[in-house]
Amino acid sequence: MNFGIYEGRFGLLDTEMDDYIQYSFMAGLGNLLAWIFVPLGFGNWEGAVTSITGLVAKENVVATVGILTSLGEVGEDDPGLWLGFAQMMGGTSVAIMAFCAFNLLCAPCFAAMGAIRDQMRSAKWTWAAIGYMCGFAWCVALMIYQIGGLITGEVAFSAWTVVAFAVLALMLFQLFRPMPTYNKTENAAAQSAINAESSRA
């Protein structure tokens, strides 16, 4: 956050300068990835950066909000910090809820990702697990922002609202679909073969 390019030169930014952080590498990374979070209501670089630092460790979310709002020294229980956070999120309650849901449900910290890698013993399945968690978090946050915002009147109906309803319908289908029926004769034969094999061993 303290390094960046200002007036064509790379270096340590002057923290006394107004909006110095806008020239930082972190702001550049946030601007590069912010489009991913636009349908979730926090599509500015600050929201994107806060979510990215949360992947390192979840407590970094609060620390990053403190740095970006220049209220890091006041403490987590100070209302000023949370007022600054609300302004950073555009002031809408559904954007704040979507942001919190995304950061609570997405991939855990780097240490936990390392533990997943050790347990899975496969880079492919580790990335699949991390991708699933981030995708699930994105879908939940999308539903909260788009559908919740439509109900509260904070969000206008758009193509993303249609996507949110489609995701909701898919999730409800997965939850309440009838279990497939299995052929009991085939199951009994398979169970008998398993029992016979285990009795021989």
How far is residue 186 from each of residues 180, 191, 195, 198, measured CA to CA in Å?
14, 9, 14, 18
CB 101 within 8 A of CB 95: no
pLDDT of residue 75: 62
In the predicted structure, residue 100 carries a pLDDT above the cut 70:
yes
pLDDT of residue 147: 93
pLDDT of residue 15: 66
- Straight-line distance from the first to the last Cα atom of the chain, in angstroms, rounded to the nearest whole number: 62
Average pLDDT across the chain, whole number: 82
* Mean predicted confidence (pLDDT) in 151-159: 89
pLDDT digits (tens, 9 = 90+) for 41-93: 888 888 888 888 888 887 777 777 777 776 656 666 767 767 777 777 776 88
pLDDT of residue 167: 94
pLDDT of residue 54: 83
Regarding predicted confidence, which is higher, 170 or 8?
Answer: 170
Exposed / middle / buried, residue 32 (Cβ in 10 Å: 0-12, 13-18, 19+):
exposed
Q: Is the pTM of this model over 0.85?
A: no
> CB count, 10 Å around CB of 21?
20
pLDDT of residue 73: 63
pLDDT of residue 63: 76
Q: Which of 21-25, 111-115, 176-180 has the lowest mean pLDDT?
A: 21-25
Q: Beta strands of 7-136 (E only): which ranges?
A: 9-12
CA-nearest of 89, 133, 142 to 113 is 133
pLDDT of residue 159: 92
pLDDT digits (tens, 9 = 90+) for 121-149: 888 888 998 899 999 999 999 999 999 99
* Mean predicted confidence (pLDDT) in 8-20: 70
Encoded amino acid at 49, one letter? V
Return the DSSP state at 9. Answer: E
Exposed / middle / buried, residue 57 (Cβ in 10 Å: 0-12, 13-18, 19+):
middle
Cα–Cα distance for residue pair 178/97, rounded to 1 Å: 32
Encoded amino acid at 153, one letter? G
pLDDT digits (tens, 9 = 90+) for 169-201: 999 998 888 877 766 777 777 888 888 887 776
